[in-house]
Structure 1
Amino acid sequence: MTKLTNMGTLGLAAIATFASAPALAAGTTAGASITNTATVDFQVGGVSQNQQSASDTFVVDRKINLLVEEVGTVTTNVVPGRTNAITTFQLTNQSNEGLDFLLAATQITGGTAAHGGTDNFDVTNIRIYRDNTTTGTVGSWDAGDALVTYVDELPADAITRLFVLADIPTGLANGSVAGVQLRATAREGGVLGTQGAAVSQTAGANTAAKDTVFADGIGVNDGNRDASHSDDDDYTVQTATLTVTKTSRVISDPFNLTSNPKLIPGATVEYCIAVANTGSADATSVAISDSVPTQLTFTGSSILLNGTVTSGTCNADGAAGGSYAAPVVSGTIATVAAGATRTLVFRATVN
């Protein structure tokens, strides 16, 4: 650092002139030299003398700061068995220097997930992709995005979008939750295509060189001022939960007809298979099959599909359909909506 010189005993006030620079969130670039010059004009015996000046130069130190944020404020709804389920994050380099950032996607074990609910399962095949802003769909995951373990050469003030992808196990109950977290850690040096080394803070007093200060805050799984930041998201299972109930009732017999009929040979029996969906997603292509006992004879053209239930009793309001291939009655209901119950009804006679 250069001190003011040639001031003598004049006792004059120095006037400093500072160069202005555009204000960025990250601030002036680390390693930049800032120089300012003070000038002194004076007279002796009314005659102007040579102007005196002095300059000061210092090097801007490096502030390491970053922010990892979940994109969106809702859970990612998934169905059991889904592959490539996506949670989306963005990384902002708030440092005053371009850096690499090591990435780590992890899962929580129990506890409350980001959007409520208790974490109770783990996803599989968890991995990270970086958005490709020159090909494909910007801001959404697609085949053009790169599978990464670190972000390479992210400039100061730059933002990049990151996608954590995972596969959802089969057999999960409706409402199951899996919490995921993404952490980024600053790295320095290296060349394009190579991950930089770990960053350390400068210990002790300020030096004339480019010192380093950690300025990051606390994330969900990192500490204060540790050159890392993290955030979380979660997956919530929304699926159909089906409960099947099978009932029968006697419709008529050869002697009592429909007046208090009994289950004697020749009696007509009506079966109802009721499928109730107590989940939060529609069940589709619901295929039902039932084998008719050998003591019964199927009644042709008696299958009704997609009927309803009232107070636990099946209504005869379905549409004709289904098929019979001895001894199996079968039919497919296109959709059993969440909260709904739909039926397959058929009749047979007692041998």
Structure 2
Amino acid sequence: MNILMLMLSDSPGVGGMEKHARELSCELARLGHTVTLAAAPQHLSDLEPAVTTRALDTGGSRHSPFLLLTVLRLIRATGFDVVHAQGTKAAFVLQRLAPFTKGRGRVATIHGFKSRYPKAAAFHQLIAVSQALATDIAQPGVTVIYNGVSVIAQAPALLPAVTEKPVWLAVGRLVPVKGFEFLIKTFQYCPGTLLIAGDGPERQRLADLIRSTSQSDTVKLLGFRTDVPALMAAADGVVISSEREGFSYACAEALLLGKPVISTNVPIANEVLPEKHIFHSDDPKRFAAFLRQDTASLAAEQAEARTFAADTFSLPTMARQTLNVYQKATAELP
């Protein structure tokens, strides 16, 4: 099958959507399919040699005539069987171009909650990365395919010398939606150490909050890390404090590494973890009670979630389910 993977993110970093598009492209190429990934130049690295790349200027609006014409020319230039839009920007562009792309299967994956979604009727198949997201899209014919996660076991990372047990790890870009301000306030009432791996525009404000709450010895901002699996291996548990997520890679990775997870009410944690491990309030003291639980007991209670993760959150499973969607999409073509 000849596949165009279209991603129009202009983010300078690699988030869940960017990671997904690259890993899915590579996995499909390893299975022998012809894959072209069209994206911003910064998102075209770390790919299988068999993946063809097309660099796009993604800085403009999805309504940009230049962007629309560029994408249309790309679609028409090669005999793609399927055009797969990753994210709402690419999906809205492909929706706009639907009348001019007949004869090709149109598929879109939605990665996050939005106030408005593309119309499912403009696509042959629409994918959501979690059950909760599919429910929010609230359109007929949405298929749920969880993101595949590649986690290679590593030796535990060396933690800061002053680390007190238990060690909780949080991972993510330092932006308000990740809820790290709330998490830092929560940890005033917790024993142990909180490590936050990630960078972003909130770093200085979070550092100031750590100092003002006298937690410099127990809460550490680690910055951007390429060894997150090793950090998870060294930690006692993983905590997710996000206000919203389409799919939490941190939750999936933690379960695959055998680590207990405590989370706010976001996918995929709220779809796979025991309900009593999901926090539904905005009270830091109540959230702290979740983090004061024995991590060994938490791990034992999450055995079923880990089995589900091992069966579901794999790259081969994601690729196989996506190919099934492609086959349905192309079967509908005249």
Q: Which bin holds the TM-score, normalised by the shorter protein?
A: under 0.3
The structure richer in helix per residue is 2
Name the larger-Rg structure.
Answer: 1
Structure 1 length as normaliser, TM-score?
0.22
Structure 2 length as normaliser, TM-score?
0.23
